[in-house]
């Protein structure tokens, strides 16, 4: 159906949903002020890979103009003149002196860093296996000569958690967030055994992105609410407690605070936002509501109802969606959805409406 596909009674503009992945990435990677954001948001994309390729084309192109990230890297080589430190044991073992040479260890200020290796590897991956139009593939190829000095590594060997960021390479945060999303979408084909990219990333990866997006949105727009993802300690009686180390940890996705009031937001990215009984009744997922209630009750150590809990689901196209707002034993508990298939202005209004839970608290 072109840019739109019909889904259970409503029209889904796929290009809007895909473009909003960029907005989520920009927040999650703390790159809201990144150059070119407005231009990318204004475009329409039929495939996720086209969006990710466009971000890399523009972002890496800008980075090339600024200068690629460089770092001091450890090198060892057999040289005719001394450079850095002489490795005596290697020099003896390789009999380098018989050739008038010494094995030296030294630092080289190079662009062959883990950050640039990840960029190059994912650019090549998108060119070879991505669902990217010919024009964008050509633009990606034009970036490769600038990365000639960078080693091409297997994408699956990249250690994303080992990549660090500081002032001189902060612009890489969004680019490598995109790269990680691409690599996490790798799937083996069943017939040829070759590698292709998923047309969409897994629910697990989207769930992680959704959580980070929500948290960083409030960090950016509402620092006065001290957005964070703290753990909630169990409020048990020390005098009678036994085996407390067996209690599972309670980790929140987002907690907002205003004065004495707190709102615990639990982000949920599910294919089905409601559970359906054998008799056809739709209800909020039992485990989810028990979880957020446990968070609120244990966090409310003053027992004054000042802690609320909200399940915030990514909206699906199911006919019944979570829409719950109740007070349970003094604590306000709710479930609602965030419609990521809307233009950004509407999504932001929904996120701002969540903040009113702190203002509208009965306590």
> What is 238-296 written as a DSSP string?
TTT---GGGSPP-B-SEEEEETTEEEEEEEE--S-SEEE-TTS-EEE-HHHHHHHHHHH
* pLDDT value of residue 105: 78
Looking up tokens 């590594």 gives 153
Opening angle at CA 150, ends 145 and 156, nearest 5: 115
Domain boundary (81, 109, 137) is at 109
Residues 58 and 194 in one domain: yes
Exposure class string for 109-135: b at 16+ Cβ within 10 A, else e: eebbbbbbbbbbbbbbbbbebbebbee
**Which is nearest to 296 in space by CA: 342, 327, 341, 268?**
327
Domain boundary (52, 82, 109) is at 109
Q: What is the pLDDT along the chain (363 residues), one digit of tens a residue?
A: 233 333 333 444 455 566 677 788 878 877 655 445 555 555 666 677 888 888 899 889 888 888 888 877 666 777 677 776 778 788 788 877 778 787 887 667 778 889 999 999 999 999 988 888 899 899 999 999 999 989 999 988 999 888 888 888 888 888 898 888 888 765 433 333 334 444 445 667 778 888 989 999 999 899 999 999 999 999 999 889 999 999 999 999 999 999 999 999 999 988 788 998 888 898 999 999 999 999 999 999 999 999 999 999 988 888 889 999 999 999 999 999 999 888 888 999 999 999 999 875 554
Q: Could you give the CA distance from residue 285 to residue 278 in angstroms, rounded to a whole number?
A: 14
Burial class (CB in 10 A: 0-12, 13-18, 19+), 21: buried
Residues 125 and 263 in one domain: no
Residues 252 and 341 in one domain: yes
Q: Could you give the CA distance from residue 250 to residue 215 in angstroms, rounded to a whole number?
A: 17
Residues 189 and 42 in one domain: yes
Residues 168 and 129 in one domain: yes
Residues 38 and 121 in one domain: yes
Which structural domain, as residue segments, surrounds residue 176? 4-69+112-201
Residues 129 and 14 in one domain: yes
Residues 158 and 299 in one domain: no
Q: What sign for the dihedral angle of Cα 195, 199, 200, 204?
A: negative
Burial class (CB in 10 A: 0-12, 13-18, 19+), 91: middle
Residues 26 and 142 in one domain: yes
Please tell me the total count of domains within the chain: 3
**Which is nearest to 126 in space by CA: 211, 209, 54, 216?**
54
Q: Could you give the CA distance from residue 219 to residue 107 in angstroms, rounded to a whole number?
A: 39
Q: Could you give the CA distance from residue 226 to residue 259 in angstroms, rounded to a whole number?
A: 10
Residues 342 and 355 in one domain: yes
How is residue 100 written in tokens? 């008038």
Domain boundary (61, 84, 109) is at 109
Residues 123 and 271 in one domain: no
* pLDDT value of residue 84: 62
Residues 224 and 353 in one domain: yes
**Which is nearest to 257 in space by CA: 362, 355, 363, 360?**
355
Q: Could you give the CA distance from residue 289 to residue 360 in angstroms, rounded to a whole number?
A: 21
Domain CATH code at residue 273: 3.40.1350
Q: What sign for the dihedral angle of Cα 335, 339, 340, 346?
A: negative
* pLDDT value of residue 190: 36
Helix (H) or strand (E) holding 326, with range, is strand 324-328
Q: Could you give the CA distance from residue 31 to residue 28 in angstroms, rounded to a whole number?
A: 8
Opening angle at CA 62, ends 58 and 64, nearest 5: 120
Alpha helices by DSSP H, listed for the chain, are 14-28, 37-42, 48-66, 88-93, 114-129, 134-143, 172-184, 203-221, 286-299, 344-359
């Amino acid at each position: 159906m072109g840019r739109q596909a019909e889904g259970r009674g409503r029209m889904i503009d796929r290009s809007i949903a895909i473009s909003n992945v960029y907005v989520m990435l920009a927040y999650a990677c703390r790159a809201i002020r990144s150059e070119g954001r407005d231009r990318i948001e204004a475009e329409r994309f039929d495939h996720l890979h086209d969006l990710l390729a466009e971000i890399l084309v523009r972002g890496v192109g800008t980075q090339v103009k600024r200068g690629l990230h460089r770092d001091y890297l450890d090198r060892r080589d057999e040289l005719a003149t001394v450079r850095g430190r002489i490795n005596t044991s290697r020099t003896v073992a390789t009999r380098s002196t018989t050739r008038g040479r010494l094995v030296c260890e030294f630092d080289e200020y190079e662009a062959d860093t883990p950050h640039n290796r990840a960029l190059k590897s994912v650019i090549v991956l998108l060119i070879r296996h991505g669902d990217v139009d010919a024009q964008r593939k050509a633009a990606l190829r034009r970036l490769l000569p600038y990365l000639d000095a960078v080693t091409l590594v297997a994408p699956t060997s990249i250690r994303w958690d080992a990549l660090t960021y500081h002032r001189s390479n902060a612009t890489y945060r969004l680019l490598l967030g995109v790269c990680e999303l691409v690599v996490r979408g790798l799937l083996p084909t069943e017939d040829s055994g070759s590698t292709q990219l998923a047309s969409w990333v897994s629910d697990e990866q989207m769930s992680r992105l959704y959580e980070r997006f929500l948290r960083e949105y409030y960090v950016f727009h509402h620092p006065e609410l001290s957005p964070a993802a703290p753990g909630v300690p169990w409020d048990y009686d020390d005098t009678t407690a036994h085996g407390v180390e067996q209690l599972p940890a309670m980790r929140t996705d987002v907690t907002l605070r205003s004065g004495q009031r707190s709102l615990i937001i639990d982000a949920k990215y599910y294919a089905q936002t409601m559970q359906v009984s054998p008799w056809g009744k739709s209800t909020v997922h039992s485990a989810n509501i028990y979880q957020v209630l446990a968070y609120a009750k244990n966090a409310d150590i003053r027992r004054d109802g000042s802690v609320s809990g909200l399940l915030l689901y990514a909206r699906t196209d199911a006919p019944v969606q979570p829409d719950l707002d109740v007070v349970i034993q003094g604590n306000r508990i709710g479930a609602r959805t965030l419609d990521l298939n809307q233009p950004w202005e509407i999504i932001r209004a929904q996120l701002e409406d969540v903040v009113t839970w702190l203002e509208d608290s009965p306590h």
